[in-house]
Amino acid sequence: MKKLLSMLLAVAVVLTLCVVPAMAEEPVEINMFIPSPEYADAVNELIAAYKEVAPNVTINYETTQNDYPTLLKTRINAGMTPDIFGTTSGKEIADYAEYSYNFAGTPAAEAMDPAVSAMMTYGDGEIHGFALKGNYFGMLYNKAIFDEVGIEFPKTLDEFEAACEKISAAGYQPVTTGFAEWWVYKHVMQHFLDAATDDPAALVAAFQAGEAHFKDYPVLYDNFFRFIDLCVKYGDNKPLETDLAGEVSAFGTGKAAMVTGQGPWVEADVTSIDDALQIGFAGYPVTDDPAQSQIIAGSDQALRINKDSANLDAVLDFVNWWYTSEYGQNWFCDVAGVIPPISGAKVADMQIIKQGAELAAADGAGALSICYSSDSFNQAMGEAIQAYIGGSIDKDECCAQIEAKWVELDGAKG
């Protein structure tokens, strides 16, 4: 009996040792500091849902837009790098690589859409970011106007000019541009950058090093400026005074047939003017080759994992759940209402997003080459093109100013 009792006690001790650690697991806190406060409610819902899955994990979420880069750098320099933090993708992936965890090969990385993943890659296949949302860039157009005029959306520059003439003859404004906004130009320019070379990242790096010039690339020197000139000729009466709100109004009211520089983010605003508006979405006409008229897909914002996080495993568990669980994958569409940055996820019931997904699947998508440059440069580029449109400088001077700003603002960091 004593022997049996001893054996039972021994078994009890072993079982206790197996159970106690799990029961006594300490609570974990994850600090998450990211921009894009417009998605705060959606992110809070995501965090609440994860609390049901991992009740021992508390996610301290903080978001701001004003002066976010400065605040982030202050925390990093003070040794207080958040467990999850945000930067832009592309160029800044390298800038913050020393603070970021490479999670290539994880379920989250494998689930990421290739176009998004490409903007998060550093070095030899390292993945240093994941996205809150994906995005599509292209031209919007009014399907009803095109049907009335009896034409298809133009895929070449010659077709674009011919379409503008026919639309104008039918009594509509062919295009609204938003040329008062500096950021519109970067959205347009990237399509021509992609068409100018097989390696837009290398081309931008060459510009940043002062080794490339517009005149060496006819798609940039001739085609891009021809497109800008056509938009001015067939666009808004005062192009340098037409901002985003002006574009939304002109397109939503059926005044203008095409829109430059915008994407899915304006759909809710234009359909609030006319909920029956039939929106078409397509790539820019950039050359005489229709195949080069592609939309652009990707994500211009990256969320990063602090490689030195004290709770790295817990952070990875959260990110993997977000990108692979049924709730997490549906969250992008059902809660946040954004383009999912993961492959095979449900797509939101929005005209532009649906068409963007179909076009990307059928024809591929171009590189998000605006992210190869800083926004300081992109703003300077937009201002130079505004001066060209206003007539204070000619095309050659405009190109010279853009080239100089690429070197001045991005060259030292390139």
Mean pLDDT taken over the chain: 90
3-state secondary structure of 341: coil
pLDDT at 355: 94
pLDDT score, position 156? 98
In this structure, the answer to whether residues 123 and 148 fall within a common structural domain is no
> Cα–Cα distance between 264 and 350 in angstroms, integer?
8
- Domain encompassing residue 255: 139-294+374-413
Neighbours of 95 (CB within 10 A): 15
Domains in the chain, number = 2
Q: Is the pLDDT confidence value at 325 over 50?
A: yes
Query: Does 167 share its domain with 192?
Result: yes
235/275 same-domain check = yes
Report angle CA 198, 403, 380 to the nearest 5 degrees: 110
pLDDT at 131: 94
Strand, helix or coil for residue 179? coil
**Which amino acid is located at 267 in the chain?**
E
Query: Residues 102, 209: one domain?
Result: no
Specify whether 270 is located in the same domain as 393.
Answer: yes
pLDDT of 20 over the 50 cut: no
Same domain assignment for residues 84 and 144: no
What is the average per-residue pLDDT within 46-55? 97
Shared domain for 116 and 206, answered yes or no, is no
Mean pLDDT on 216-233:
98
Confidence of residue 269 (pLDDT cuts 50, 70, 90): confident
CATH code, 67: 3.40.190.10
Single-letter residue type at 174: P
Specify the amino acid at residue 150. Answer: G
Residues 231 and 176 reside in one and the same domain: yes
Are 250 and 181 found together in one domain? yes
- Average of per-residue pLDDT across 233-251: 96
Q: How many CB atoms lie within 10 A of CB 55?
A: 9
Residue 94 inside a domain? The answer is: yes
Q: Does any domain span residue 159?
A: yes
Residue 68 lies in a domain: yes
Average pLDDT over residues 107-114: 95
Do residues 281 and 320 share a domain?
A: no
Domain identity same for 171 and 227:
yes
Q: What percent of the chain has pLDDT over 70?
A: 93
Residue 287 has pLDDT above 90, yes or no: yes
Q: Select, from the ranges 60-69, 82-91, 254-263, the one with the highest average predicted confidence (pLDDT).
A: 254-263
Q: Which of 347, 364, 382 is the last residue of a domain?
A: 347
Task: Give residue-wise pLDDT tens across range 127-177.
Answer: 999 999 888 999 999 999 999 999 999 999 999 999 999 999 999 999 999
In a domain, 4, yes or no: no
Examine residue 355 and state whether it is found in any structural domain, yes or no. Answer: no
User: What average pLDDT does range 360-371 have in this prediction?
Assistant: 90
Q: What is the pLDDT of residue 4?
A: 39
Residue 412: predicted pLDDT: 67
Residues 259 and 323 in one domain: no
Q: Average pLDDT for residues 35-63, to the nearest whole number? A: 93
Asked whether residue 385 is assigned to any structural domain, the reply reads: yes
Walk across the sheet containing 256-259 and list its strands.
173-176, 256-259, 139-142, 279-282
Helix, strand, coil share (%) of the chain residues, nearest 5: 55, 15, 30
By DSSP bridging, strand 84-88 and strand 301-305 are: antiparallel
Asked whether residue 132 is assigned to any structural domain, the reply reads no
Is residue 354 domain-resident? no
SS3 394: coil
